[in-house]
Structure 1
Amino acid sequence: MNEMANGVMGIASMGFIAALVIVGLIAWFFINRASVRASEQIRLLEALLDEQKKQNALLRRLTDNVSGSEKKSAAEQQDQKDFTRLIPER
């Protein structure tokens, strides 16, 4: 009878250990999955930041060109109003 109780206790302890291992593996799976997803989101956010920096640089260049052309057109209008340009030098 004692041997039978020891055998049942051994099987129960093995089952308990197996259950703990399975629960541990499931927990590891979800923690690992969350970590990978977080890393992927960080990578995507960094790529988005790089794209925004490029777009900001392009926008800044575009606005500088527009403001520069407005300055040029204002200077050209001033030159057109200047009558000394019409008189040739001798």
Structure 2
Amino acid sequence: MNEVLNSGAINLASIVLSLVVLLVGLVLWFFINRASSRTNEQIELLEALLDQQKRQNALLRRLCESNEPEKDEAAEPVKAQEKGDDDFIRLVAER
């Protein structure tokens, strides 16, 4: 009779241990799944942000190109100004 009770207790302990392992597994799965879905949401938001930044950069390039002065007219005064600066620097004595 003692053997029958011991085998029933072992069987019950086995079932309880299986349920505890199952419960821990489900809790772990829940948190891993939750973290994964949050990560996917963050990736989607970052991709949307990247797309917006690309559009902003394209708009800024267009704006800069439309406001840019003509290169031929603007280049000549700058070159003359640079030559004048070089001549002045050559006249200043170094210590």
Same-fold call, TM > 0.5?
A: yes
Q: Residue in 2 aligned with 1:62?
A: 63
Q: Residue in 2 aligned with 1:16?
A: 17
Q: Residue in 1 aligned with 2:5?
A: 4
**Gap regions ≥5 residues in structure 2:** 74-95
Q: Structure 2: how far apart are the matches of 1:43 and 1:27?
A: 24
Q: Residue in 2 aligned with 1:28?
A: 29
The amino acid that maps onto 1:10 is N
Q: Count how many residue pairs are aligned between Structure 1 and Structure 2.
A: 70
Per-residue CA shift, 1:37-89, capped at 9, x if unaligned?
Answer: 1111111110000000000011011111111xx33xx6xxxxxxxxxxxxxxx
Give RMSD over aligned pairs.
1.1
Normalising by structure 2, we get a TM-score of 0.69
Q: Structure 2: how far apart are the matches of 1:24 and 1:53?
A: 43
Q: Structure 1: how far apart are the matches of 2:61 and 2:30?
A: 46
Q: Structure 2: how far apart are the matches of 1:42 and 1:4?
A: 57
Normalising by structure 1, we get a TM-score of 0.73
**Which structure is higher in RCO with an 8 Å CA cutoff and minimum separation 6?**
1
* Residue 35 of structure 1, CA deviation: 1.0
Moved over 3 A (4+): none
Percent identity (aligned): 50
